[in-house]
Amino acid sequence: MTQPYVLGIAGSPRRAGNSEQLLDALLGGAHDAGAQTRKLVPAEMSILPCSGCNSCTLTAECVLADEMSSVYAEFDAADAIVIASPVYFAGVPGTLKVLIDRMQPYWARTYVLGTPRPARRPGGFLLVRSSGDPYGFTGAEHTIRSVFAVLGIDVIVEEKVAGLDEGDDIGRRPDALASARAHGVQLAGAARGR
């Protein structure tokens, strides 16, 4: 049986912070359940913002030449994808949003060019935020669900943890880390069975 591949996107520009620790717990669970795992950190990659040129609606490809070519390859190869992110001003950090906007060629293939959709895959998200914000997780969650819809990813695991400020605050939430790990086990199983 081939090993399922679970891809994690660490959406925070702060390395080893709350969302990345949750992601590491999830990927650790997936690994221990037999999956191959990999983590991409958009903030440390050279990714240009989508220019809105719409070339992808004609060619199905992005005209920009940068590190997104390796991101596209990983997204195409993954059996399951999970995005971990903090809430920034009700949305996701700009570095993650730049990567998400560059998924427009998948939208063009599905909704303009009618290219057959790849098989649906399981996925999920891990969101963290501070507190005292009236907008909560809504904006960030909708952004991630929107791109997952275009990519044909079914959200089967989700976790939202509020009240985290400093980068190691998640250490006070062993319950959340254990839950993320269990999500990884679940995702590996779903990725294997797809």
Ligand X SMILES: Cc1cc2nc3c(=O)[nH]c(=O)nc-3n(C[C@H](O)[C@H](O)[C@H](O)COP(=O)(O)O)c2cc1C
Binding-site ranges for ligand X (CB under 6 A)? 12, 14, 17-20, 86-90, 128-130, 133, 164-165, 167
Cβ(27)–Cβ(99) below 8 Å: no
**DSSP helix/strand/coil, 40:** strand
Residue 103, phi then psi, degrees to nearest 5: -85, 5
The nearer residue to ligand X, 14 or 31, going by C-beta atoms, is 14
The nearer residue to ligand X, 9 or 190, going by C-beta atoms, is 9
Tell me the closest approach of the beta carbon of residue 147 to ligand X, in angstroms.
19
The nearer residue to ligand X, 87 or 103, going by C-beta atoms, is 87
Tell me the closest approach of the beta carbon of residue 69 to ligand X, in angstroms.
27
The nearer residue to ligand X, 5 or 137, going by C-beta atoms, is 137
The nearer residue to ligand X, 20 or 79, going by C-beta atoms, is 20
Tell me the closest approach of the beta carbon of residue 161 to ligand X, in angstroms.
8
Residue 128 token pair: 């963290």
Rounded Cα distance, 82 and 92, in Å: 14
Tell me the closest approach of the beta carbon of residue 175 to ligand X, in angstroms.
16
Residue 17 token pair: 């912070």
Give the closest residue to 33 by CA, choosing from 6, 60, 62: 6
Strand 80-86 versus strand 153-161 pairing type? unpaired
Residue 19 token pair: 């969302």
Residue whose beta carbon is closest to ligand X: 17
Tell me the closest approach of the beta carbon of residue 26 to ligand X, in angstroms.
13
